[in-house]
Amino acid sequence: MFVREVAPYLYEVGARDPGRRLFDELIPLPEGTSYNSYLIKGSGKTALIDSVDPTKSEILLKNLKDAGVFRLDYIISNHAEQDHSGTIPELLEKYPDSKVVTNAKCREFLMSLLHIKEERFIEVKEGDTLSLGNKTLEFIMAPWVHWPETMLTYLVEDKILFSCDFFGSHFSTDELFVEDEKKVYTAAKRYYAEIMMPFRKMIKGHLKKLEGYEIGMIAPSHGPLYQKPEFIIDAYKDWVSDEVRNNVIIAYVSMHGSTKILADRLERKLKEKNIHVRKFNLTDSDIGEIAIELVDSATIVLGSPTVLTGPHPSIVSVAYLANALRPKTKFAAIIGSFGWAEIQSEKIKALIPNLKVELLSQAIARGLPTRDDLEKIDELAEQIYQKHKNSGLI
């Protein structure tokens, strides 16, 4: 790891974590991640914006030493989650004169999560500024991206926005700036889907507020920096909009093949109608891929057999996740099979109250699907087609 110069007074001194495969013990990280930390050397004071995950504290401390930092005046904490705050206690010990600059809510969290003492804090509010001499930091409150205490820091003279998780991507790369926009777009969309999507309405408001700032660069705390901020701002505007696409997700699990027959037929029938379909067999699926599709798919179809008096646990897990992520999906349907009692569909419906969807007709087969069951799938495909068409998606 090494110190990376963003500008003559600004350095990225955090750590990459290419081997990490799970975040929150839940979210797959196919590209690893990074914990960016930004050192600003002003003419009067030195500040660090966010720290790193505690597993990488040695790297941050070494980078600060290599950058010639013997005195650190301010540690700006944009967000209390430990992947950015976890090394603050070590920094406070190493730099005993330093103060943590953050808002009241974040201070409260840092005191409980990391046992940082109250006297080490400087509290800031919306629009407050902090002078480093020739550089000025302005603080922009941005609650719920994605915790209630989150804020952004804006370097006034250079028009750089330090956005922490907002606009970030779990993407470990030695490239300081975005080079491959397609790759970063996918990683950022996955990040938005898994972390930010439940707060879509709040994010709309924050994007509106940011229109009042001239932003020349965005420096997030995960993934590469954006020299063309409009690339990621426009992507976010699209994701948080109410627009959906002519896409259907079929997420299914099949124990003895009956539900699979229904899922395969539905996929084929929808494709014949020029509807884009992503089908996920849940025995072998990355939930991050499903989350990405949830960002803008118009329809989700959940397919499950009945097992032990209810839906299969794999479909329960996906339904629970979709419900928690609150996507803007417009339509939903349930397909599946049973042996002697159909009791899964009502239980699946009860798992998704947050999805503001219109429930379409269901197709549930007893045992191996019959001709009638397959016709029900064909009818569902036609219904989805009509719904998409009437919504202007086709």
- 310 DSSP 8-state letter: E
Find out whether the peptide bond into 84 is cis, omega within 30 degrees of 0. no
CB of 219 to ligand FEO, least distance (A): 14
Place of tokens 């719904």: 387
Q: Which residue lies nearer to ligand FEO by CB, 81 or 267?
A: 81
**Which spans of this chain sit near ligand FEO (rule: CB under 6 A)?**
79, 81, 83-84, 146, 165, 222
Q: Which residue lies nearer to ligand FEO by CB, 79 or 107?
A: 79
CB of 80 to ligand FEO, least distance (A): 9
Q: Which residue lies nearer to ligand FEO by CB, 53 or 296?
A: 53
CA-closest candidate to residue 119, choices 142, 97, 138, 147: 97
10 Å CB burial of residue 327 (0-12, 13-18, 19+) is buried
Q: Which residue lies nearer to ligand FEO by CB, 50 or 373?
A: 50
CB of 81 to ligand FEO, least distance (A): 4
CB of 289 to ligand FEO, least distance (A): 20
Residue nearest to ligand FEO (CB): 81
CB of 14 to ligand FEO, least distance (A): 11
| CB-CB neighbours of 326 under 10 Å | 16
- 368 DSSP 8-state letter: S
Q: Which residue lies nearer to ligand FEO by CB, 187 or 248?
A: 187
Pairs from 364-368 (Cβ < 8 Å, separation ≥ 24): 364/334, 364/335, 364/336, 364/337, 364/338, 365/258, 365/259, 365/261, 365/262, 365/336, 365/337, 365/338, 366/337, 366/338, 366/339, 366/342, 367/258, 367/337, 367/339, 368/257, 368/258, 368/261
CB of 191 to ligand FEO, least distance (A): 9
Q: Which residue lies nearer to ligand FEO by CB, 146 or 328?
A: 146
- The span from the CA of 312 to the CA of 321, in Å, is 15
- The span from the CA of 277 to the CA of 123, in Å, is 49
Q: Which residue lies nearer to ligand FEO by CB, 79 or 190?
A: 79
CB of 353 to ligand FEO, least distance (A): 26
Contact 321, 293 (CB under 8 A): no
